[in-house]
Structure 1
Amino acid sequence: MQNRLETLDSILDRLRTSIRKNGLKNSKQREEIISVLYKSGTHLSPEEIASEIKTKDKTTSISSVYRILSFLEKENFITALEADKSGRRYEIAAKDHHDHIICLHCGEITEFVDPEIERLQIKVAHEHNANLISHNMKLFVICQKCQKIKP
């Protein structure tokens, strides 16, 4: 798991400010989704998030989770990752930069940082007379566990 750039409390404070700025009413579900993602430390699907929230609030609907995820992504509280054909998975945006290794069989997502890859990306951008602003690297693999499974 990558280092957190913010505490959960500071993210929730920013969320409350964003909600006021957007003229919305405060919603415990928004805060709960942020909390679930922050505490999980991993990449969760909307269904996994809804399931976790339903343990505390039985009235949570999957449609409201999708709607809230869309808002949280638009406001840069979370980031979405298209891992595989199973759909988007979400993580807290307040983490150090990292890249992803994604198994195409089981969908397991591993975060990594490689200083050499980071250096080479900047070098390539400069060779093309450009300044690297950001990047999003995903390596699609068959993980060691899945390689051992006979087809």
Structure 2
Amino acid sequence: MVTVALPDTWVYALRLPHDPRAARVARMTVRAALHSHGMGEVLDTVELLASELVTNAYRHTQGPASLRLTALSDGRLRVGVWDSDPYLPAPFDGSPRDRVPPVAVGADGGRGLFLVQQYADSWGGRPLGGDPLGRGAGKLLWFEVGGRN
């Protein structure tokens, strides 16, 4: 009998249309992938933060988005969300020490990026390409959670 060892690293990628249901599809995908890989300890955090980034992609762009889940060899999980707008919002536009202030209690929105900086172990972002007229190929925002101590 042959024993197959499952890899410690894996990647899932999901293309999302510009659709108000995209965040729900992203949450379902995150839940299924993390359950199947036994990563229940980070599931709620990843589901929330991925949903926030996908929601922002829908609200602030007119194009599609992509979600990518990457299990790294040291036990960390990196989640990336690409969208078609090259603008990098805080805290992704600077040092991880730069902080987004808390949102007022009665505000209708604006909590997503604050949640990322509160619950992710690290985060970053970068614009992707572009041309001389300022039209970019979008941006990639990412965060990481977990890892072996």
- Give the TM-score category using the shorter length: 0.3 to 0.5
Q: Which has the higher strand share?
A: 2
Given the two structures, how large is their TM-score scaled by the length of structure 1? 0.34
Q: Greater Rg, structure 1 or structure 2? A: 1
Given the two structures, how large is their TM-score scaled by the length of structure 2? 0.34
